[in-house]
Structure 1
Amino acid sequence: MRQRIAVVATAMALAACGLAGCSGGDDKKPDTGQKATVLQPGRPGEPNKTAVIGPSPAKPPTDAEVRFVQMMIPHHQQAVEMSVLAPGQASSAQVKALADRIDKGQAGEISVMQSWLKSVGKSTAGTGTGGGHGGHGGKKDPHAGMPGMATPEQMTQLREAKGAAFDKLYLQLMIVHHQGALTMVKDVLDRGTNVTVQQMARDVQSTQLAEINRMKDLMEA
């Protein structure tokens, strides 16, 4: 898990460096060693042409990709909020271990996503601690429209559950939560081009698919 997060963080840092025009030294020009001049044959009766080919600059993120990252942060934060309850309320060692994996994994991904948004000059506003998901203060949950999010009432039920009842409710809510994340991933994979965001989305997809299968096994045990 830590290795996967580190790989995404490295990719994000390299992408940010590319956007900023990083180079090996302050006085060096960008490396053009990979570019080459090639001869392009003209059509019959037309002269040949020359063209310079080389690596294309990284494509900027689409609005859909920026929105995906901005909304995946509070989505992950609710999963963390749910998972930190497990050590004191779950009865199953397997549920506790799964919750710990989700807590640590998604907390790491949150940090990567927040850093990426800052690197491309996009706002991380509204990506706070996620405490509003519990419905405190009677305010409407601003993220209620996101797929898979637990309602304030469900979060209250989870906080009050103990033992086997907690295990069952946690697994039920987290399966739906993960399925919602997969819906968000599919949307951005269909509408995005940025290499870093696409890799983030695929990492979320592979991890949460595996965790859904694990949670279904625990539900049937």
Structure 2
Amino acid sequence: MARNATGSSRRPVIAFLAAVEAVALLLAAGVAAVATTRDDGAPAGSVATTPAPAPTPSVLPTDAIGTAPVIQPGRPGEPAQVLRPDQLTPPPGAPHNAADIRFVTMMVPHHEQALQMAALVPQRAGSTGVIAIADRIRAAQQPEVEVLKGWLRDRRLNSLLGGTGHEHPDMHGMQSPEAIAALTATTGTAFDRMFVEMMTAHHQGAIAMAQEVLASGVDQRIRELARNIAFEQAVEVNRMREVIDPPSK
């Protein structure tokens, strides 16, 4: 009877974790789907007018939907703990594959370009909303760059980094040097609109890259980071659209 009661109490938890992952991936896919359509005829790269809900800080699961909680034995004299898979710390040298390496080595320069664009904002933006967005980008993506670089160092793969990312024509959302130069030369309202259009495309590229590693990668830490990137940047795309095209009252 005790075993059946424990199994019954875990089922809602498992269902909740599955729902969280499904919502995150559906939100990311929705942003990519609306990238080619706008009611007002604006360029592709814009997104739906309905703002997504503000992200709720949470730790998303790292295994397939429906994975059961893991029982971790306690130390002598201590009870065992029931943990979600994403709460476990992977051992050094945890398994990874080519998809994980590709994601990390491309996401580092991808994030670094977003930080470069965000650094232009304080002296050029005409909107406090754009300034706030740039602050959030710096706060989120700089720590992620350090995590990604640390992952490479731990596996002695940091030699794979180098260059700016422009040499990867298949790196989604990466902006050309000419586009960065044009943004740098702009100020005020024109800067705000150009920044939002470029950063929207950049975020959509990051979402696509995250979806690729979620489909093919095996490293649990990288999969968790990719889920967070896909969810957070999908929400941020909608925030940027609201700054430029506020919803009518």
Does TM, scored on the shorter chain, surpass 0.5? Answer: yes
Pairwise CA distance, 1:212: 0.6
Matched ranges for 1:20-169 at <5 A: 58=94, 60-127=95-162, 130=164, 141-169=166-194
Q: TM-score, normalised by structure 1?
A: 0.68
Does the Cα contact within 8 Å between 1:86 and 1:95 map onto a contact in 2?
yes
- Give the AA of the match of 1:96: I
Does the Cα contact within 8 Å between 1:185 and 1:205 map onto a contact in 2?
yes
Pairwise CA distance, 1:218: 1.4
State how many pairs are aligned: 166
Tell me the distance in 2 between the aligned counterparts of 1:153 and 1:109: 26
User: Which position in structure 2 is the counterpart of 1:25?
Assistant: none
User: Which position in structure 1 is the counterpart of 2:10?
Assistant: none
Tell me the distance in 2 between the aligned counterparts of 1:97 and 1:185: 24
Tell me the distance in 2 between the aligned counterparts of 1:204 and 1:75: 12
Tell me the distance in 2 between the aligned counterparts of 1:77 and 1:127: 12
Pairwise CA distance, 1:12: 11
Tell me the distance in 2 between the aligned counterparts of 1:14 and 1:102: 27
Tell me the distance in 2 between the aligned counterparts of 1:120 and 1:179: 28
Structure 1 segments of 4+ aligned residues over 6 angstroms from their partners: none
- Give the AA of the match of 1:156: A
- Give the AA of the match of 1:112: V
- Give the AA of the match of 1:83: A
CA pair 78-93 structure 1, distance change in 2 beyond 3 A: same
Q: Higher relative CO (CA 8 A, sep ≥ 6), structure 1 or 2?
A: 2
User: Which position in structure 1 is the counterpart of 2:28?
Assistant: none
Pairwise CA distance, 1:4: 7.6
- Give the AA of the match of 2:145: I
Of residues 173, 178, 187, the one that matches 2:212 is: 187
Pairwise CA distance, 1:152: 1.2
Question: Whose radius of gyration is greater, 1 or 2?
Answer: 1
User: Which position in structure 2 is the counterpart of 1:19?
Assistant: 92
CA pair 220-161 structure 1, distance change in 2 beyond 3 A: same
CA pair 112-13 structure 1, distance change in 2 beyond 3 A: farther
- Give the AA of the match of 1:66: I
The answer for unaligned runs of 5 or more in structure 2 is 1-54, 60-85
Tell me the distance in 2 between the aligned counterparts of 1:110 and 1:12: 21
Pairwise CA distance, 1:121: 2.4
- Give the AA of the match of 1:19: P
Q: TM-score, normalised by structure 2?
A: 0.61
TM-superposition CA deviations, 1:27-65 (whole Å, max 9, x none) = xxxxxxxxxxxxxxxxxxxxxxxxxxxxxxx5x011111
Does the Cα contact within 8 Å between 1:144 and 1:151 map onto a contact in 2?
no
| Secondary structure of the corresponding residue to residue 167 of structure 2 | coil
| Secondary structure of the corresponding residue to residue 110 of structure 1 | helix
TM-superposition CA deviations, 1:134-193 (whole Å, max 9, x none) = xxxxxxx31343110111111011000000011000000000000011111111100012
TM-superposition CA deviations, 1:72-124 (whole Å, max 9, x none) = 00000000000000000001001001011102211110001100111122235
User: Which position in structure 1 is the counterpart of 2:198?
Assistant: 173
